Structure formats: structure tokens, C-alpha cells
Structure 1
């Protein structure tokens, strides 16, 4: 059962919610900037983080039926809609950016939800999944929305993303500060300390993904093909190295000769 829209709105109106909004908004800004000219979808309860995409062409806040929806009209281009998270009411390939916050933890079927996200994502689009971390303190208290539903590990999120045909590109963690009011004033120092010395205590995982791309570039002698830098920092997502077959190696050697 999902948290109600009233509970979520109340949380983001108190000091703990304001801290979550500030820290996560900074990470999202590093990844996507202001989403210039993009169509952006926020799924779950993402409205606290959508106002920063001020240069987007259109922003839609889609809220699951079990949660409820709130009016969100920061500008005339923005819309709110109530959705079935197993059958999103959007055409395929519509959105350039999809942000999921408080979306998969309490979903009846997280994989079905991500399958729908993959369907509505444009060929060059990007997704960021924000979810409660299994080992963090925020998942262990019911005083915050991150303490309800199912928390995830990094490997579990990567598995769900790959299963829906997307590829993890980068990841990050946040909310090392415990969800206790007396500690909030020291949040900046605790975030820096936790990132360096206690990464397993993070309360939230952010995972960015995009579509798999296949290409056959012509590589000239003395040139290398470089991969783009990950959008989220500080740690890029792990990638599985390709292993060339014997026949492929022989073909490459013959072409080089």
C-alpha cells in the first residue's frame, strides 16, 4: 500500500523533507541541469524536484492511483495526472527524461513499472531512479517515506533496469545524515564524511540509465573510441567488458594487415 499524498506533502513540508529536497535536487541538477528543451516525466512523488527543470519544454507529474494526486501547476506547460503504474497513459517514446521518486519501493510490481518507463522513454532518453537504500538508516524508520515498502541494493536496481531493456550508465548515493532532527544541522559535514568513509550508510541510491546502443564505428589507426562521462557522480556504474571471440580477433587482425 502506497503512502497517501497527504503524508508525502507533510513530510516535504518539515525540516527532514526540506533537507532531502535540497540534497537530491543538487544531484539531479548535476545530472540533467535544467533539462533544456526536454519533455520530462516525474513518476511517483517527484513534484518537490521538478521545479528545477525550468528550461524543459514540458513537465508532467504522474502519480500512482494508490497514492493520490495533487495540483501542480508551476507554469502553464506543467501538468499532473493520476496513473496506473502498470499502464502509463502516454504514447511510446514521448519523454526525454524520466525521474522516479517514491515510485518503485511501494509498487505492486516494480518490474512492470520500469517496463512502462522503458516504453515511454525516447530513443536517446535518460532515466534516474531514486529509491531507498537497503543498508541505510532512512529505510529503517517509518517516520519518512523511505521507511515504507521495499528498499533496494545497487545490484537489485541494476537488475531491474537491465531486465526492461535499459542499461545503467551511472550511480550515486546520498542521505548519509541520520533521519534525526538534532543531526540535520550537521548534514553537510556528515554527507562528506559518509561519502568518503561510510558509503554503506547512505539512505538513498540514485541510478541513471539509458537505452542500449549498438554501433559499428570505423576506427582509424592511432585513434581510440571514447565513452562519454557519466552524468551522476562520484562513482560511474560498473560495466561488463566485452570479450572478443577468436574468429572476431582473426578478422580484426586480417583487416589491420
Structure 2
């Protein structure tokens, strides 16, 4: 179930949301460090993280699911947002080079179908960057943030989901190690550095980069040869047009040589 776009906008306007955008924005920018001349799509509520790509990308657009709602973005200039069905994106096939999915996979009713649609609009060699709540983190256990709503994921679940949608994971990052509390706002950056260096397991969000898989391997199955056995005798329920073995035996005339001194019996007229 999607959160309302007003609740998402209000969260990112608060100090905790500003800190979230700062920490996650660093990870997203590090993964997509160069998008010069590329087409970038943000799906879900990705507008807090798209601003750094505006001046660099050829075009940068945001699409928000109809169940969530839409807000104007960017604040200045022509709008670049659209209200869409996430299962049927109004984009040509292979028209986008980079796709950023935030606050969408954990809230949609069918994550695999949505990823299949993302696969369609991605160009060959295109990259997907998905941000999902970590089920082992504190953020997924508190509904005071958007990461506490919807379905959280483990690494294994994300890998299985991406592979079913014909994506290949190529890189991982984790973010939001500090608990979602205003008491950790001042130390959030330090906690983030320590958690990243030690690879602590309680990060609030998983950030996975995946590439579009053009061909799906099909396993080769060996055909098993079954011997065909022919019946030795025709069953009793065979059709009338067939002659049984007993009828064939009775129709055969047996000729044999009589013993010495005896005459063969005269044949019947």
C-alpha cells in the first residue's frame, strides 16, 4: 500500500528527512557518478534525489504511481513529473539509460511486474538503482518514516526479485545506520561512516545497482529414451478385422511323411 505523496513530502521537509536525503543522496550519486547526455528516470518518490542529475543529464523526469499521488517537480521551471500506472509506463521501449526506484518496490502490489516494466523502458546496457528498506534494520520497524511502511527486503529477496525480472545485480551499498531519531541528527554522519567501514548488518536501507539482462539462459534438459515394446500376442478384445493366432494356426495345412509301410489317407473330395 502506497503512502500518500503529501506524507512523503512532509517527511523530507523535516530535519530527519533532510538527513535521510543527504545520506542516501551520497550513495546514489556515488553509484551514478556520471550521467552526461543520458536519460534519467525516477520512479516512486525519487524527486529528493534527482536534483543532482538535472544539469548533467540530457533529460531527467519523475513518475509517481497513481495510488501515491503526484507533486510538482522541480519547483522552478517546466514540470517534469507525471502520474502513471507503474505497471504501464508511458515511455517507449529502451528509451531510458538510468532508472532510480525509491519508495516503490516495497509498496507496490506486484514488484516483479513493475520491474519487468522498468526492464522494458531501459536501453541495452542501462542501469537500475533500487532503494529498499532493510528488514534487519531499525528503520523498517518504525512507521514514523517511509521506510517503515510496506514490505522490507533482505539481500537474498532482492537478488531473487531482480533475477526474476531479468536484472543482474552488479553492486551493493547500505545506508541509514543511525536510528531514525532526532537525537542522532548531529552524529548521523559519523555513525554512517563507522557503519559503512565495519559493514554492520543493521543499516536502514539497501541500495542495489543492477544491469539489464538481454538474454535469459535456458537450462538444457536431456531427453529420456523410452523403449517401445510391441505385444507378442494380439489381445482378445482386438477388432474383428484382425486374425487371431489360433485362427492362423488352424488354417495352416500340416503335411507330414507317413511311416514306412503305411499309405497316406485319401484327401477329402
The reply to whether TM is greater than 0.5 is yes
Distance 2:77 2:37 in 1: 15
Once superposed, what is the RMSD of the aligned Cα atoms? 1.5
Checking the alignment, whether the CA contact within 8 Å between 2:124 and 2:214 is kept in structure 1 is no
Pick the structure with more helix per residue: 1
Checking the alignment, whether the CA contact within 8 Å between 2:174 and 2:205 is kept in structure 1 is yes
Distance 2:155 2:78 in 1: 34
- Structure 1 residue 159, shift from structure 2 partner: 1.0
Larger radius of gyration between Structure 1 and Structure 2: 2
Give deviations 1:100-142, integer Å, cap 9, x for gaps. Answer: 0001111010111111011110002110000110100111111
Distance 2:40 2:207 in 1: 17
1:70-219 superposed matches below 5 A = 70-73=71-74, 79-197=80-198, 199-212=200-213
Q: Which runs of 5+ in 1 are unaligned?
A: 215-257
Distance 2:75 2:29 in 1: 18
Distance 1:74 1:203 in 2: 29
2:49 alignment partner in structure 1: 49
TM-score by length of 1: 0.80
TM-score by length of 2: 0.76
Checking the alignment, whether the CA contact within 8 Å between 1:57 and 1:77 is kept in structure 2 is no
- Structure 1 residue 193, shift from structure 2 partner: 2.1
2:7 alignment partner in structure 1: 7
Give deviations 1:181-239, integer Å, cap 9, x for gaps. Answer: 1111101121122223462110000000112368xxxxxxxxxxxxxxxxxxxxxxxxx
Runs of 4+ in structure 1 over 6 Å off: none
Q: Which runs of 5+ in 2 are unaligned?
A: 216-269
1:193 aligned counterpart, secondary structure: helix
